[in-house]
Amino acid sequence: MRAGGSEAASRAGGRPVARVERALWDMETVISRILQLGVLVSAAVIAAGVAVWAITDTGGYPDGRFPTTPAGVLAGVAHLRALAIIQLGLVLLVLTPVFRVGASVLVFARERDRTFTVITSVVFALLLMSLLLGVME
């Protein structure tokens, strides 16, 4: 690993590309682990909602209705309404890639890669904007 790294560094004109690359991958691996945990937690919340739904045999809302706003979801979860618990799990699932992009901004900033800190920030801002547009609708 180490020998290959120095070889690549000399090829890239003395810039320690491989070292930076490996630091990037190490952080990426950590982020991926956290994300796997996020997926498991969301799946568990969804499954809990399904369990409540099956046991009580009611979604907690009139037919065809379910919460579609963050406030509505949280209010429903507070009353242990099955469909609201499921929606909470689905929201958590949707947020995992957003979190991943946000974490990538930090990775690039730490590597002092200004261009990609900006590019990743733009993607992160677009994601936040799309979620806000959804909330406002």
Partner 1 sequence: MGFDPLSFLTVFGLSIAAGFIGSLLGLGGGIIVTPVLTTGLGYNIRHVIGASLVSVIATSSGAAAAYVKDRLTNLRIAMFLEMATTLGAIGGAYVSGLLPVRALYVLFGVLLVYSAYGMFQRRHVEGAGRVPESAWARRLRLEGRYHDETSGKTIEYRAGRLGGGFAVMLGAGGLSGVLGIGSGVFKVLGMDMVMGLPIKVSTATSNFMIGVTAAAGAGVHFARGNVHPGIAAPVALGVLVGAWAGSKLLPRLPGRFLRYAFVPLLVYMGLEMIWKGVVP
Residues that bind partner 1 (CB under 8 A): 24-25, 28-29, 32-33, 35-36, 38-39, 42-43, 46-47, 49-50, 53-54, 57-59, 61-66, 68-69, 82-83, 86-87, 89-91, 93-98, 100-101, 104, 107, 115-116, 119-120, 122-123, 126-127, 129-137
Tokens encoding 3: 């020998």
Half-sphere exposure in the Cβ direction for 7 (13 Å, CA): 4
Q: What is the DSSP letter of 1?
A: -
**Closest distance to partner 1 from the beta carbon of 130 (Å):** 5
CA angle 128, 130, 134 (to 5 degrees): 115
**Closest distance to partner 1 from the beta carbon of 91 (Å):** 7
**Closest distance to partner 1 from the beta carbon of 132 (Å):** 7
Tell me the CA distances in angstroms from 89 to 39, 56, 73, 74, 92, one per residue in order: 9, 19, 10, 11, 5
> Is 74 or 91 the residue whose CB approaches partner 1 more closely?
91
